[in-house]
């Protein structure tokens, strides 16, 4: 992305580079697509002297153009042009090949709006292609209230802007595909983990049922109550695990990455569990691969779930720090602390002595090992519990480590 942006910027006429610098900076900021395109339109309208603008992208089937951003369009036009055929007039020509073309007779566009297109407000429409990598991904339109003309230098500028917008659309598609693949991997991994844990618990329940049956036939009330308690505990564990799976699928990692996902969790954590959650990050760039971000997210999410279930805390903090040797994620609370029996059980789990009816920290440890890191649970300074995930710097950003 940066190389392409620099190539475009290097061919900009003197005095216009500031606009492109702002646009390439916005690209690097990884903003949401619609707000990013609207920011572009503000600058483009001012540059070209247009009164309104729109960005359209080709649908996946390539048969239509969808309105994804607009500025200054009347409400009836916004509604009527949400989706238009790809072969519609000059806009259709611009979507088929890399061109810049004028719509001289705007009455041809009025068929979409059941009346005058802009009334007397629109006299000319300009359609510019959004190309990338030999393909046209969409177009953008500029709407003029007079029979305006633009000089060749401005045409060159507008086509360069079209290339930059095409790059933006390409990056958005890549991000969408990355998210799709990531979600598929998460789903398969979660299915595997749930199958293993539920299978273990159900096998335990199945072994207890014949014993329960025998004790009932023998009228051995003491043994019957014991085996009944075991079966109830096993069924409860299966129920809890299924609820965790449903929660995981409702809280997939944000497509913008780990930090955005954690912010989303923090924004809703208090409403869901009654505990305030703060995110403290002192690392400008985590440099984690997509797979590593997913694993770290689920480790933190499981730690936060444990806080909600066991700690009786009022506040939790997720801190991210880095030194030359390791990247550290620290999850702390001000709750009951290590001396409480329920928390002590979690510590026992973290040391590898997990009873058969709980698997949360086993999974956390497994994820940490997959990352080439380590997971530690201990008392928090001043009370409460602390979970530390340590990742060696040499393993950060290596996509194969978290597979």
Closest CA to 261 of 182, 365, 172, 373: 182
What angle is formed at CA 25 by the lines to CA 21 and CA 27, rounded to 5 degrees?
A: 120
Domain boundary among 124, 143, 176: 176
Residue 211 domain flag: no
- Tens-binned pLDDT, residue by residue, of the chain (403 aa): 333 333 333 333 334 445 555 555 544 444 567 777 887 888 888 888 888 888 888 887 888 888 888 888 888 788 878 888 888 877 887 778 877 888 776 766 766 555 555 555 677 888 888 898 888 888 888 888 877 778 888 888 888 888 888 887 888 778 777 777 776 776 777 677 666 667 778 888 888 899 999 999 999 999 999 999 988 988 888 887 777 666 555 555 656 778 888 988 899 888 888 899 999 999 878 888 877 888 899 899 888 988 887 788 899 999 999 998 899 999 999 988 765 554 444 444 444 433 333 446 777 887 888 888 999 988 888 788 999 999 988 766 655 443 3
Contacts of 373 (CB under 8 A, 6+ apart): 326, 389, 390, 391, 392, 395
* 146 and 278 share one domain: no
Amino acid 358: pLDDT: 42
In a domain, 162, yes or no: yes
The CATH number of whichever domain residue 90 belongs to comes to 3.30.450.40
Whether residues 258 and 401 share a domain: the answer is yes
Residue 191 resides in a domain: no
Can you say how many angstroms the Cα of residue 324 is from the centroid of all Cα atoms in its chain?
Answer: 28
Residue 239 inside a domain? The answer is no
Rounded to whole angstroms, the Cα distance separating 164 from 2 reads 11
- Among 157, 176, 195, residue at a domain's last position: 176
What angle do the packed helices 33-48 and 17-28 form, to 10 degrees? 180
**Cβ contact 402:295 at 8 Å:** yes
Beta strands in 133-190 (DSSP E): 135-144
Q: Same domain, yes or no, for 269 and 371?
A: yes
The angle subtended at Cα 159 by Cα 158 and Cα 161, nearest 5°, is 65
Q: Which of these three, 148, 176, 204, is where a domain ends?
A: 176
Q: Does 16 share its domain with 138?
A: yes
Residues 169 and 258 in one domain: no
The CATH code of the domain that includes 354 is 3.30.565.10
234 is a domain residue: no
Q: Which domain holds residue 300?
A: 254-403
In the chain, the number of structural domains is 2
CA-based nearest residue to 258, from 223, 289, 297 = 297
Residue 238 lies in a domain: no
The pLDDT, as a whole number, for residue 394 is 73
Q: Look at residue 87 and tell me if it is in a domain.
A: yes
| pTM, full prediction | 0.43
- 382 part of a folded domain: yes
Cβ–Cβ < 8 Å for 359, 340:
no
Query: Given phi > 0 = left and psi -120 to 50 = alpha, else beta, which region is 116?
Result: beta
């Amino acid at each position: 992305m940066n190389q392409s942006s620099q190539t475009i910027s290097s061919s900009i006429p003197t005095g216009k580079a500031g606009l492109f610098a702002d646009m390439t900076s916005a690209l690097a900021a990884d903003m949401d697509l619609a707000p990013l395109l609207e920011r572009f339109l503000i600058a483009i309208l001012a540059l070209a002297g247009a009164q309104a603008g729109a960005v359209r992208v080709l649908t996946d089937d390539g048969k239509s153009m969808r309105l994804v951003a607009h500025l200054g369009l009347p409400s009836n036009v916004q509604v009527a042009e949400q989706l238009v055929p790809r072969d519609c007039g000059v806009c259709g020509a611009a979507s088929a090949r890399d061109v810049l073309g004028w719509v001289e007779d705007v009455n041809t566009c009025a068929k979409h709006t059941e009346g005058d297109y802009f009334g007397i407000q629109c006299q000319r429409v300009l359609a510019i292609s959004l190309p990338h990598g030999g393909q046209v991904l969409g177009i953008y339109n500029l709407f003029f209230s007079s029979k305006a003309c633009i000089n060749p230098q401005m045409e060159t500028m507008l086509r360069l802007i079209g290339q930059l917008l095409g790059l933006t659309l390409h990056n958005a598609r890549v991000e969408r595909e990355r998210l799709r693949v990531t979600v598929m991997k998460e789903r398969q991994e979660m299915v595997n983990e749930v199958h293993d844990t539920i299978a273990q618990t159900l096998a335990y329940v199945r072994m207890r049922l014949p014993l329960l049956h025998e004790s009932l036939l023998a009228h051995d009330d003491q043994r019957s109550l014991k085996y009944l308690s075991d079966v109830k505990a096993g069924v409860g564990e299966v129920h809890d695990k299924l609820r965790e799976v449903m929660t995981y699928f409702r809280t997939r990692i944000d497509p913008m990455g780990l930090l955005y996902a954690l912010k989303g969790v923090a924004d809703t954590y208090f409403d869901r569990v009654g505990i305030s959650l703060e995110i403290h990050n002192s690392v400008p760039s985590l440099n984690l691969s997509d797979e590593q971000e997913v694993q770290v997210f689920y480790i933190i999410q499981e730690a936060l779930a444990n806080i909600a279930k066991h700690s009786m805390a009022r506040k939790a903090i997720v801190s991210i720090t880095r030194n030359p040797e390791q990247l550290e994620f620290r999850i702390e609370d001000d709750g009951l602390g290590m001396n409480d029996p329920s928390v002590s059980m979690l510590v026992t789990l973290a040391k590898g002595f997990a009873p058969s009816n709980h698997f949360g920290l086993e999974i956390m440890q497994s994820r940490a090992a997959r990352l080439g890191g380590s997971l530690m649970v201990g008392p928090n300074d001043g009370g409460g519990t602390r979970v530390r995930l340590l990742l060696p710097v040499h393993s950060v950003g290596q996509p194969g480590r978290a597979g």
